[in-house]
Amino acid sequence: MITFRSCVFYVFLCTSIGVYSQVLIPSYFHQDYYDLLRMKNDFDDPITYLPSIVNNYQVDSALSWDIWEGKFDISSKKNQSFQILDPSLRFAYSSSYVDTYNDGAVWEGKGISSSINFGFQGRKGFLSYTFAPVVFYAQNQDFYVAPSPFNKNEFSYPFERKIDWVERYGNSSLNKFHFGQSELRLTYRKVSLGLSTQNFMLGPAQVAPILMSNNAGGIPHIDFGSARPYATKLGQLEYKIFWGLMNESDFFDENPDNDQRYFAGAVIGFQPRYVPGLSIGLNRVMYREMFDGDFSPLDIIAPLWKNIEDPALPNDNYDQMFSLMMKWKFKEYGFDGYMEFARNDLPGTIVDLFENPERTRAVTMGLVKTFDFSNEHVLRLVYEHTKLNKIKMSTATIGHPTYYVHEIVDNGYTNNGQLMGAYIGPGSNAHHIRLQYFTEKGRIGVSFDRVRWNDDYFIDNFAGNPDLEPNDQRYRWGINYLRFIGNFVLDLDYQVGYRKNWYYEDDLKIWNQYLGLNISYLVR
């Protein structure tokens, strides 16, 4: 049990050692500021594969712009072999329903929730290590979950049969431990091999990456590839291949044979030498039942060769997604534009690719713009739009499977009941807008987002009936305030959400208020 006395002792231990953190904790301020540093400075940064542990992307010299003056420090410290990570506490309250995302393993239900992040990291020769677990508690109060037309657990998402997407984790409070952003890594020159539970993201999206986000807890996985982008004659190159295990929650089915799924993927990113600022990448992820008796050594290299029409796999036992991404950075204008085009299955033939390029497609597109002020303050604007819903033409002709759901793989694209891709889930689309004003004392921001949930289910069940238009939609407005007070960071978030036609019931409308408070101690 974590007590107040143990927390005090831990903070005292941290202050006595005095080092910095380079871990991007989901739902904390780290990722937004890291992205801002990337836009405002010149240093090697991830192309299409963004890990939570960014030690390999440390810079060797002082940054030209860093208004927080090292409060999130990514400078190289080659002579330090051990570091204590900044400990942090989080408290949250939701009044009516669950409405959080991209917070890793943490799940905040209705009512009061809390979590603590802590840990250490270090290096010895070629070996580096990070221990950064998270412990969380959720009051998990009762709220309405619609009955399912399928034979599913009462706490699972009701409107897709084959997905382990949890709406509520049972009818009692939760206490959970997760290894969080922890890893062991061997790095030799330009190559790296890691054993990890850290979150990583694929693609350029700020809010809703299609293939891999930090919405769920990081899966236990092994990765091998470039330690950081490295120079070739044609430009910067990044590559990675990874293998892991996806776990079922306690709220899906009673079949022990499908409790784990095998996960594999590969990415390649490239920044052309003669097109400054441009990044392009190809990402692919695959998953299948782990213990169905068909697993072979060739499955280890499946992301590099296996296609949907392999004659040895007539039942299509893999579900797979791939995406093409492009990001263009115009540093002199403070502007990033990006797009990710994904497909929920590979084309069976080249002819199929050209005749039906939109089949199983999904798209995320967005921009980030910074506005500089004379006092070095910066206003950051983020806009992002994500579409995961089916296209009517491809549905009517050759089919279009719903994202993150597969007919053969029972549990879908989830880990412990949380979506591993875009948090909005199957068949949904969304708009997100954020404005953030950064000063030397902290940050203030406002946000708005709109989500229309699972249009695929809506069209299949309500289209053609003019008397029924119960699109399940959520609108949310928020304000965020972050302030540095000595070595402490206070990060306050308040949001108001309005859910319309909840669970496709046109008379069910509900408001939700959310309050979150992060308290971090900067170890210096």
Residues 448 and 476: beta-carbon distance below 8 Å: yes
The pLDDT score that the predictor gives to residue 55 is 85
The model's pTM is 0.90
CA atoms within 13 A of residue 60's CA, in its CB half-sphere? 1
Residue 152 carries which side chain, given as an amino acid letter?
K
The low-confidence residues of the chain, meaning pLDDT below 70, are 1-21, 77-80, 292-293, 306-316, 347-355, 392-399, 466-468
Q: CA nearest 450: which of 417, 485, 469, 477?
A: 477
CA gap 232, 219 in Å, rounded: 32
Q: CA nearest 521: which of 2, 9, 1, 3?
A: 9
Residue 254 carries which side chain, given as an amino acid letter?
E
CA gap 262, 219 in Å, rounded: 11
CA distances from 169 to 106, 165, 166 (A): 12, 10, 7
CA gap 394, 246 in Å, rounded: 30
Residues 76 and 63: beta-carbon distance below 8 Å: no
Residue 204 carries which side chain, given as an amino acid letter?
P
Provide the pairing of β-strand 378-387 with 120-124: unpaired
Q: CB-based contacts of 95: which residues, under 8 Å, 6+ apart?
A: 110, 511, 512, 513, 514
The pLDDT score that the predictor gives to residue 308 is 53
Residue spans of the domains in the chain: they are 4-521
CA gap 516, 447 in Å, rounded: 15
Query: What tens digit of pLDDT does each residue of 321-379 get?
Result: 999 999 999 999 999 999 999 988 776 666 666 667 777 889 999 999 999 998 899 99
The pLDDT score that the predictor gives to residue 20 is 44
Phi, psi of 258 (to 5 degrees): -115, 25
The pLDDT score that the predictor gives to residue 35 is 95
Domain 4-521 in this protein, CATH class: mainly beta
Quick count: other Cβ atoms within 10 Å of Cβ 355? 12
CA gap 322, 340 in Å, rounded: 10
- Two structure tokens written together for 424: 């909005």
Q: Find how far residue 453's CA is from the centre of its chain.
A: 18
User: What sign does the CA torsion over 372, 517, 203, 133 have?
Assistant: positive
The pLDDT score that the predictor gives to residue 130 is 96
Q: CA nearest 342: which of 303, 413, 284, 274?
A: 284
Q: Find how far residue 508's CA is from the centre of its chain.
A: 30
Q: CB-based contacts of 49: which residues, under 8 Å, 6+ apart?
A: 200, 201, 202, 225, 238, 240, 267, 269
The pLDDT score that the predictor gives to residue 13 is 42
The pLDDT score that the predictor gives to residue 235 is 95
Work out the angle at residue 510's Cα, subtended by the Cα atoms of residues 508 and 515, and round it to the nearest 5 degrees.
160
Instruction: Annotate 121-133 with b (16+ C-beta within 10 A) or e (fewer).
Output: bebeeeebebbbb
